[in-house]
Amino acid sequence: MMQNLDGQTLLIVGSTGIGGATARLAAHAGAQVFVVSRTEDNCRALAAEIEESGGQAKYFVADQTDAAQVEAAVSECSRVFGRIDALFNVAGISGRKFGDGPLHQVTEEGWDTTLDTNAKGMFFFCRAALNSMLQQSVGENGLRGTILNMASVLALSPERNYFGTHAYAASKGAIIGMSRSMAAYYAPHKIRVNVIAPSLVRTPMSKRAQENTEILELMKTKQPLVEDMIEAVDVARAALFLLSPESRVITGDTLVVDAGWSLS
């Protein structure tokens, strides 16, 4: 069922992969979409595509590891659209090229870069959005706002042979813990916080895996529902439900979207 997001403003951090797919679906469902990314070309192209299709979209270029830039992005979204009904924190990195890997091999740069981008960057956006949402009136759906944070199945169901990146797993586990604590604290303020935890999805970040024939062979049994990588739009559909008023009584949850990964 297509979500009805008429009149809702969604701030999406990430302009490709799952973020881009969610922005397109949200705009098609009637939402005003505000896209934030550090890559202007991607932001501009996505916003233009949405507007050419009849949707409403604006963008802002910001580095999620820079608190001042994050504050500016969130302020601009509030200024342009009047309020922020939902924040979807999608953007993140694999720290492998910086030195992530099995813990005894993880470099200090690998640890710091991965945690700063994935966990600290999400903290910056959550903090800024919460300060905005707390000042908003309660909407027609009974809420001030909704936050959905991106984790990973690797925080819950590790795979040692090809995905032994322990700084990445730590960053995603931290997101789950932070989000549940946020959900408990902000529920009386009518703000929801949930997590979505996909497994291996076909996105720009998974390019290494897409080119590895052994990983692709593993997916035939590791993700048995699709026998392949998951498509970004499939995760986006699940995310849109958690961002929409249809899920207004769900908070503190982690939705695993893994095509059977954690059961295989």
Going from the C-alpha of 86 to that of each of 50, 137, 145, 203, the distances in angstroms are: 18, 14, 6, 23
pLDDT for 73 equals 98
> Quick check: 102 and 166 in contact, CB under 8 A?
yes
pLDDT attached to residue 205: 87
Q: Model's pTM, two decimal places?
A: 0.96
Q: What is the per-residue pLDDT for 2?
A: 54
Q: Which residues contact 166 (CB under 8 A, 6 or more apart)?
A: 100, 101, 102, 103, 106
The answer to whether residues 93 and 117 touch, using CB atoms and an 8 Å cutoff, is yes
Structure tokens at 244: 């929409």
- The residue assigned the tokens 């984790």 is 151
How long, in residues, is the chain?
264
- Residue 139 CB contacts under 8 Å (≥ 6 apart), including other chains: 83, 85
In the predicted model, residues of the chain with pLDDT beneath 70 are 1-3
The CATH-assigned architecture of domain 9-263 is 3-Layer(aba) Sandwich (3.40)
3-state secondary structure of 56: strand
Three-state secondary-structure class, residue 249:
coil
Active site residues: 168
